[in-house]
A and B are shown apart, each in its own frame.
Chain A
Amino acid sequence: MLATSPAFKQNASDAMADSGLQKALTRTRAQLPARRAAAVAALPEFEQLRNIGRDIKNHTLANLDFYLETWEANVTRAGGQVHWCSTADDARAAVLAICERVGARTVTKGKSMISEELGINEHLEAHGIAPIETDLAEYILQLRREPPSHIIGPAFHLNREDWEASFRASHTHLPADRVFNEPRDIMAEARTLLREKFIGADVGITGANFLIAETGSSVIVTNEGNGDLTQTLPRVHIVLASIEKMVPTLEDATSLLRLLARSATGQDMSVYTTFSTGVRRDGDWDGPEEYHVVLIDNGRTGMIGTDFQEMLRCIRCAACMNHCPVYMTVGGHSYGWVYPGPMGSVLTPSLIGVDQAGQLPNASTFCGKCESVCPVKIPLPKLMRHWREREFERHLTPVAMRRNLGLWAWFARRPAAYRLATRVAAAMLGLLGRRRGKFAALPFAGGWTEGRDLPAPEGETFFARYAREQRAGRA
């Protein structure tokens, strides 16, 4: 996927002027945090579980080589095959090789963010194989040729009229005068069309929420059941999983599952949580005859042992973006790559480079809400700060910002000068703004005052007032 992350500022401006997107964001802004809060309130042990989730992931990452090898041995024992892939190119080639070997013409797919990261669909299409997204939201995005804007609700940015228009434009074999009264009519049309695709597919590709070393299983979590149909009906099942999905045991996966759905949608448990272990057994009536796991690194091992290792704990619940004032204002597409919101602002520079994605860790108010809801306690603001430092060290920060930071640093290291400068500035601004009490425009701050007024200082600095009140209090 080609990143538009370097154009974040322009993307964000466009997004704020997009009335359809703003309507979609307004609809869900309060809903998602409220649902999570209700689910968390109903489980008194939730806070303890967050610590446990963090510790399980830390333990696994510290011993990842052992768990990956143990897991592979168990996959092999169950008739499956693991394809180790260092890069996105390797992973695309591995998927294509399997599809070509079995003569696949159509491939059904469950929702997978790693598939977006790898650009699997484009690669298959270029080689004459038709990928079909089966998650309802991914399906409409495929019709519209749009990337996902949210990691669990990929069509988060669309409204009902968009669904209707896309279905009418794409499903031209159906009567043009059919009526969509309810969302369920739209869903029913997709269900019917996709049923045929599920049955006709030669290969099914899913992601994985977890890999379990103890049993050699891959786990997917869905509400629709599309992932299960994808992996049950075709002759071949390919799992795409990055290395940090690993957990040691079923008990460990269980603890993380208690966190996942509550953090994501406010459900206690998603509808279908499915553990897949190898190929169809003798006597089975259904299930795949081939089971492959394409195991992907694509930059993750480079994060181990660095400041950003903590990011590899992420279980992709989307709580951070659901609670983010920036995400909820500019939407997911503004971030310009696969992973939006706070987790994307940390992960994207790690995976595509801070030179491409340096603006993302700057797009934060540092309110800290993301960290406070993260089920595995990733210190997202701290990690964004690390990226800002790296960006500065590598001279990627814009010249004007570097100059202003330098100016501020000079004053900050000289308290007397700082106090003098702020006293003069506050007095002047106070004098100039006394009549109206605020400024609608200021030199060098046009971008800031475009959206709001700056209240005029009352003429005295905090330091001066504090000192005066201390004196008065003592007197």
Chain B
Amino acid sequence: MALRARLAAHPRQLVPARSQVPRPEQIALLVRNIEREYGTVHRVTGPDDVPAAVGDYLSSHNLPSDFAMAPHPELQNLPWHVRPMLSIRVGRAMPSDLVSVQHGWAAVAETGTLVLPSAADRPTTLNLLSDTAIVVLRASRVVGAYEAAWDMMRAEWRDPLTGGFMPRNVMLVTGPSRSADIESVLELGAHGPRRLHVVLVDDDPAAKPAPV
């Protein structure tokens, strides 16, 4: 019947034009939007540069060198040994953790939004409990609009419990935690992270900025 057909087709409504641009511009839009929402972005040319980028970020902000990290193979396989001072605990975040490193599943350029579905290798607490949340994101995982991220989820994800495509928890994260409850003054770090830092790995040849 018509209603079932509508659910099965899950038609897209209007997708704003702002994100329907060539790849390099999409990535630039993502970076611009994350920064506008009080996040920071550091672009690196390959996965091997991630440990140095994380280490440098922590030392430049006088942050501790120990952190909780998602047990995701893409993160665990990085050459962390190049930064022997970093002390990594793999697993979920604990309330005392000051820094966390999360695996970025995807990101939406339209509003600078990270897409972080929960999984055994992507604990939700890593998005929430630390003071400084670092997310490692590959440029090939950046899409223009939310609808493209849902399509990716439908194509890639099989939930172990339902057999469907929807993970238990999907967090769309746009900047660090904030509140303006006190006299409408915006303050960062209400309950979640005060800082959100994205290490963006340029793994997508089509997405690289044009040489100057």
Query: A: which residues have CB within 8 A of B?
Result: 24, 27-28, 31, 43-45, 48-49, 52, 56, 63, 66-67, 70, 74, 77-79, 134-137, 140, 153-155, 159-160, 163, 182-184, 186-187, 191, 194-195, 198-199, 213-217, 223-226, 228-229, 232-233, 248-252, 254-255, 257-258, 265, 267-287
Contacts and interface: CB of A to CB of B under 8 A. Distances in A.
A225 B169 contact: no
Contacts of B92: 285-286
Given A49-B14, A78-B162, A277-B168, A269 B174 contact: yes
A56 B168 contact: no
Given A52-B13, A153-B181, A273 B172 contact: yes
A70 B192 contact: no
**Most chain-A Cβ atoms within 10 A of its Cβ — which of B7, B10, B129, B169?**
B169
B175 interface: yes
Contacts of B165: 215
**Most chain-A Cβ atoms within 10 A of its Cβ — which of B13, B129, B161?**
B13
Contacts, number: 222
A146 B90 CA distance: 43
A281 B164 CA distance: 13
Nearest to B121: A283
A107 B204 CA distance: 46
B118 A284 contact: yes
B126 to A, nearest CB: 9
Interface of B: 3, 6-7, 10-14, 16-18, 33, 37, 71, 91-92, 95, 110-111, 113, 118-120, 123-125, 127-129, 146-147, 150, 159-162, 164-185, 187, 189-193
Given A48-B14, A226-B191, A273-B174, 20 more contacts: A44-B17, A45-B17, A184-B187, A216-B166, A224-B192, A225-B193, A228-B128, A248-B3, A249-B10, A251-B12, A254-B150, A270-B174, A271-B177, A275-B170, A277-B162, A277-B167, A279-B161, A282-B160, A284-B120, A287-B169
Given A225-B177, A268-B33, A276 B168 contact: yes
Given A45-B16, A285-B92, A223 B178 contact: yes
Contacts of A79: 161
Given A250-B10, A254-B146, A224 B179 contact: yes
B91 A285 contact: yes
B168 A251 contact: no
Contacts of A216: 166
B18 A281 contact: no
A287 B124 contact: yes
Q: List the 9 closest A-B pairs by CB distance, nearest first.
A: A225-B192, A283-B120, A224-B190, A285-B92, A285-B123, A183-B182, A137-B181, A249-B10, A215-B166
25 contacts: A136-B190, A140-B181, A154-B181, A183-B182, A187-B187, A187-B189, A216-B166, A224-B190, A224-B192, A249-B6, A249-B10, A250-B150, A251-B12, A251-B150, A258-B16, A269-B174, A270-B174, A271-B173, A271-B176, A271-B192, A274-B169, A274-B171, A282-B161, A284-B123, A287-B124
Contacts of B14: 45, 48-49, 52, 255
Given A78-B162, A284-B118, A271 B174 contact: yes
Contacts of B170: 274-275
B183 to A, nearest CB: 5
B169 A251 contact: no
Given A183-B185, A272-B172, A284-B119, A43 B16 contact: yes
Contact of A78 (B168, B183, B193): B168
Given A28-B184, A183-B183, A281-B161, A251 B128 contact: no
A202 B29 CA distance: 42
B10 A214 contact: yes
Contacts of A137: 179, 181
A173 to B, nearest CB: 19
Contacts of B150: 250-251, 254
A228 B179 contact: no
A290 to B, nearest CB: 13
